[in-house]
Amino acid sequence: MEGIWTKLALRLWAVLLLLFLFFPILLIFFYAFNTSNIESWPIPGLTLKWFSSTWNDREVRQALLLSLKAGLTATVLALVLGSCAAFAIHRMTFFGRDVVSLLFILPLALPGIITGMALNAFFSFNGVTLSIWTIVVGHTTFCIVVVYNNVLARLRRTQGSLIEAAMDLGANGFQTFRDITLPLISTAVVAGGMLAFALSFDEVIVTTFTAGAQNTLPLWIFGAIRLGQRLPEVNVVVSFVILVTVIPVVIAARLTGGGGVAKVQAR
Amino acid sequence: MRGAVRIQALLWRVPWLRAWLLLTPPLAWFVLVYLAALVLLLVTAFWTIDTFTTQIVQVWNLDNFRTIFTEPAYRRIIGRTVTMAVLVTVTDALLAFPFAYYMARVASRRTQTLLFAAVLLPLWASYLARVYAWILILNHDGVLNWSLQSIGLPPANIGYTNVAMWVVFSYIWLPFMIIPVYAAMERVPESLLEAAADLGARRWRAVRDVVLPLALPGIAAGSIFTFSLTLGDFITPILVGGAGSSFIGNVVYSSVGIANNVPFAAALAMIPVAIMAVYLLGAKRLGAFEAL
């Protein structure tokens, strides 16, 4: 329908916008190989030396370890709680169902700073010392939604008659769950877990309010950029974080056909 | 064994019992931790701290809100934050509209899927990484100044300014605008445009009078994200902003971290929440929630 020139202009706009979206991300990978420790353009040459120095940095390792521990724990908790919530909400009409649904979405709808501050005030009010566990509580709270959304979307697309058929054929509740329900929802659960981990691994706002003296990887990056210190290592760590957050999302998108990924909003 | 079977049968026959058993753990988590924390935050906003001991004094008063509304410094900061949120939202809407139009109405089905993935991917690539990338681009010896100088233009030198913040915010939240606008535009049937053409409307007129109004709920939906995310951010102002770049979030952050004045921070944090509540009411009227 559009004229040839309009089409061309629109295509040009699309290409420029894609460049705008991807150029900064690709640039970081480039800087990770920078021979100089000064972040100026053009970079003088390529080297691998920052990769080994980052790997051997004790602070980075500790931060990575904490991020992995907190992320995995939060993911497991979110998987259990989010799946429970999805099963309960699915096809159950009870009073206040919409309110409960809204409650689960709240941590993503409210600005991260509110969630972070509220939890911070809550912990200090109750005399809880900030530690890895307070980080886990914060992360779990906003990761539950991701699992909940994915599992609920899958449950809505599966037929209840399959479960009734299994029951009619004499399967007990456990057998039905193991042989029918679980295979049907497994990819959605895995996808939810992947997204939850990606969300947790990169989270910085809620974490600044819930972490004690220890750094997660994003907190380490934030501190280093703010002070302008060890930027060559920041390049390497940041490239790594991009990969760790993007790869699970790509897998999750494949498992759910893309729907689950689009629905999630980061804060 | 018989007991287990009986319990299962009971759970199957009484669905609400099963639902509540399943719902209790996640609901307990949300009510006992999250909701409790939010309520506490709301209540704290009406308390004060003892300026000598920095202990919280649990006496109800409106001192925090009075300070916020009477001190010109806070009004400036709130004004700056809201202005930036509006600017970023408008910028993203302008950038997203032609792109979403291309995706929905010109590109082939295959290209559409690819573009959709290409828009989603940066959204998930670490937030900090994307902010950091712009520090590399905008700093004095960065890509931007180098490129300008190599084509004979003077350097832009916008690193660590409000302009830098505007660029970075517009960049980070852009996918949040593109996706709902695209979704809204994809739903516009081609027949409507044909009808407009039959009635003598030129293509541009049809875009303005048919596509734009129908895409408006999508723009409103996208603006909820771009607006609220900018409003609540404090990381980007710290990392790419300059001396006079404090946002509401920065004052909240330093009130908790440095001044240890949680009641004041809580009161200040109510400002973006209140603004968002008003904004959401407006967006709802534009049909944003149907487009989400």
Cα torsion through B239, B241, B246, B251, rounded to 10: 0
Both tokens of residue A174? 């456990």
Residue B9, both tokens: 């049968």
Average of pLDDT values for B105-125? 88
Closest chain B residue to A77, measured at CA: B26
Give per-residue pLDDT as tens, A87-135.
888 867 667 777 887 788 888 778 888 999 999 989 988 999 999 999 9
B26, B31, B44: residue with CB nearest A81: B26
pLDDT score, position B14: 73
The residue with tokens 């190989």 is A33
For residues A71 and A132, the answer to whether their CB atoms sit within 8 Å is: no
| pLDDT for the residue A265 | 46
Q: Above pLDDT 90, what percent of chain B?
A: 39
Contact A143, A82 (CB under 8 A): yes
Q: State whether residue A95 is helix, strand or coil.
A: coil
CA distance B130 to B172: 7
Tell me the C-alpha to C-alpha distance, in Å, between residue A209 and each of A116, A220, B197: 5, 14, 56
Q: Has residue B1 got a pLDDT over 70? A: no
- Res. B2 pLDDT band, cuts 50 70 90: low
- Closest-CA distance, B17 to chain A, in angstroms, reads 10
Q: Does A258 touch chain B (CB under 8 A)?
A: yes
What pTM was computed for the model?
Answer: 0.88
Residue B100 reports pLDDT greater than 50: yes
- pLDDT band at residue B157 under the 50/70/90 scheme: confident
Q: Which residues of B touch A252 (CB under 8 A)?
A: none
* CB-defined contacts A:B, below 8 A: 249
Q: What is the pLDDT of residues A50-80, one digit of tens each?
A: 899 999 999 999 999 999 999 999 999 999 9
Written as six digits, the tokens of B99 are: 């792109």
Q: Which pLDDT belongs to residue A267?
A: 39
Answer whether residue B92 shows pLDDT above 90.
yes
Residue A91: predicted pLDDT: 67
> Which residue in chain A has the smallest CA separation from B12?
A173
Question: For chain A, which residues score pLDDT lower than 50?
Answer: 265-267
Q: Does A169 touch chain B (CB under 8 A)?
A: no
* pLDDT tens per residue, range B66-80: 988 898 999 999 999
Q: Give the pLDDT confidence of B232-290 residue by residue, as tens digits.
A: 899 999 999 888 889 999 999 988 877 788 889 999 988 988 888 888 888 878 777 76
- What sign results for the dihedral spanned by CA atoms A182, A185, A189, A194? positive
B178 and B115 Cβ atoms separated by less than 8 Å: no
Q: Answer whether B210's CB lies under 8 Å from B196's CB.
A: yes
- The average confidence (pLDDT) of chain B is 87
Helix (H, G, I), strand (E, B) or coil at B49: strand
Give the model's pLDDT for residue A3: 78
Q: What is the ipTM score, two decimals? A: 0.87
pLDDT surpassing 50 at residue B47:
yes
CA–centroid distance for B80 within its chain: 16
Least Cα separation, residue B252 to chain A (angstroms): 8
